[in-house]
Amino acid sequence: MSDPALCLTGATVGYGDVAIVRDASLTVRRGEAVAVIGSNGSGKTTLMRGVLGLAAVLGGSVEVLGAPVGRLREHGRVGYVPQRHTVSGAMPATVREVVGVGRLPRLGLFGRPVARDRAAVAEAVDAVGLADRLDDPVASLSGGQQRRVLVARALAAEPELLVMDEPTAGVDAASQAALATVLAQVSAAGTTLVVVTHETGPLAGVLRRAVVVDSGRLTYDGPLSGAGPAAGPDCHHPDEATVPPVRGYRLDQPRPAPDAARVRDGSR
Ligand SMILES: Nc1ncnc2c1ncn2[C@@H]1O[C@H](COP(=O)(O)OP(=O)(O)OP(=O)(O)O)[C@@H](O)[C@H]1O
């Protein structure tokens, strides 16, 4: 059995010594596509930052692609599209150059890009529908287009695990649909997706499992929209096919989430 993409065991994550997410246990198997949802300030970004080594793990454990968080030797194996960021307006770089930065961890001998690297950059830009803007300065792109550049930057590394924080925020409907198509392809190719989102609609065909964060606790883990996740071994109970990933209920018997719709529109 390969290691899970993510294995959190009683993880408490925060900043300094302040705990924000508490006692989170979660297994994400390789190839899964998971939505992380919850109201503003519930701790979704903090949870992701804990996975990326950008927030402190104050208790429990967090393993990413089989290694304790922060110990991955090849950083290109995990891609990240951060929340809200656009590319700095003052940056004179072109789309190709910014996306090329995403490829840096994958460069081989002497750190020089070869044909495969150039192709990966071009494919990533094409995937987000910006092929005709490849040599334009990013500063000349709209905010939504710059978000798509950041998605391409993450894709260019061909990560095994792709973490995205609200990738559809501020992106128009056509671009959201295009992003869903890209993520479906990336997912079909075996990349594990973990996507923080307030709008599961555009990505509902891709993200099959939902994890809800409420006041720093994981309160739901189950199907996003009826289609259940593939049951498989869990890092906490590797001999069992189906186990309770979050206190007291099972993936095949998800806790009803009557507030999921409210969580989605952030009205809690
Ligand atoms: N760098 C930080 N230092 C200290 N506290 C922080 C930091 N970043 C976030 N927090 C706090 O952590 C809590 C959770 O924030 P987080 O950004 O994880 O929520 P979220 O669920 O992603 O919210 P949103 O949907 O608004 O993006 C908030 O109370 C926030 O003020």
Q: What is the SS3 assignment for 32-85?
A: CEEEEECCCCCCHHHHHHHHCCCCEEEEEEEEECCEECCCCCCHHHEEEECCCC
H/E run at residue 194: strand 192-196
| Beta-strand relationship, 67-68 and 56-64 | antiparallel
Give residue-wise pLDDT tens across range 31-59. Answer: 999 999 999 999 999 999 999 999 999 99
How far does residue 241's CA lie from ligand 1's centre (Å)? 34
Q: Which atom of ligand 1 is nearest to the CA of 216?
A: 14
14 Cα–ligand 1 center, Å: 9
Report the distance separating Cα 120 and Cα 219, nearest Å. Answer: 38
Q: Tell me how far CA of residue 169 lies from CA of 5, 81, 82, 122, 197, in angstroms.
A: 25, 12, 11, 24, 8
Number of helices (H), then strands (E), in the chain: 6, 10
Distance from residue 41's CA to the centre of ligand 1 (Å): 5
Q: Tell me the C-alpha distance between 259 and 247, whole Å.
A: 18
pLDDT tens track for 14-28: 999 999 999 999 999
Residue 162 domain flag: yes
Does 1 map to a domain?
no
**Ligand 1: centre distance to CA 29 (Å):** 26
Please check whether residue 121 lies inside any domain of the structure: yes
- Compute the distance from residue 46 Cα to the ligand 1 centre, in Å: 6
Give dist(CA 149, CA 188) in Å, integer: 22
Tell me which residue has its CA closest to atom 3 in ligand 1. Answer: 15
Residue with tokens 């594990």: 192
ipTM over 0.90 threshold: yes
Structural domain that includes position 24: 6-265
Closest CA to ligand 1's atom 5: 15
Query: What pLDDT is stored for residue 265 in this prediction?
Result: 41
Alpha carbon nearest to ligand 1 atom 9, residue = 46
Region 171-199 average pLDDT:
89
Residue 265 to residue 55: CA distance in whole angstroms: 26
Enclosing H/E stretch for 154: helix 143-156
Q: Can you give the C-alpha Rg of the chain in angstroms?
A: 18
Evaluate whether residue 29 is within a structural domain: yes
Q: What is the pLDDT of residues 71-119, one digit of tens each?
A: 776 667 899 888 866 666 556 789 999 999 888 877 766 778 778 888 9
Mutate to test the pocket of ligand 1, among 46, 83, 217 (most ligand atoms within 8 A of CB): 46
Angle at 49 between CA 185 and CA 98, to 5 degrees: 55
Distances (CA, A) of 12 to 17, 84, 251: 10, 24, 22
Residue written as token pair 């290109």 = 76
> What pLDDT was estimated at residue 263?
39
Mutate to test the pocket of ligand 1, among 13, 17, 45, 197 (most ligand atoms within 8 A of CB): 45
CA of 83 relative to ligand 1 center, distance in Å? 11
Report the nearest atom of ligand 1 relative to the CA of 47. Answer: 18
CATH number where 77 lies: 3.40.50.300
Q: Under a CB-based contact definition with an 8 Å cutoff, are residues 23 and 17 in contact?
A: no
Q: Which residues line ligand 1 (CB under 6 A)?
A: 15, 20, 38, 40-46, 83
Q: Let me know: does 166 contact 84? Beta carbons within 8 Å.
A: yes
- Tell me which residue of 168, 194, 155, 211 sits closest to 31, measured CA to CA: 194
Domain count, the chain: 1
pLDDT of residue 141: 87
| Protein residue whose Cα sits closest to atom 17 of ligand 1 | 45
What is the number of the ligand 1 atom nearest to the C-alpha of 266? 25
Closest residue (by CA) to atom 2 of ligand 1?
15
- pLDDT for 10: 96
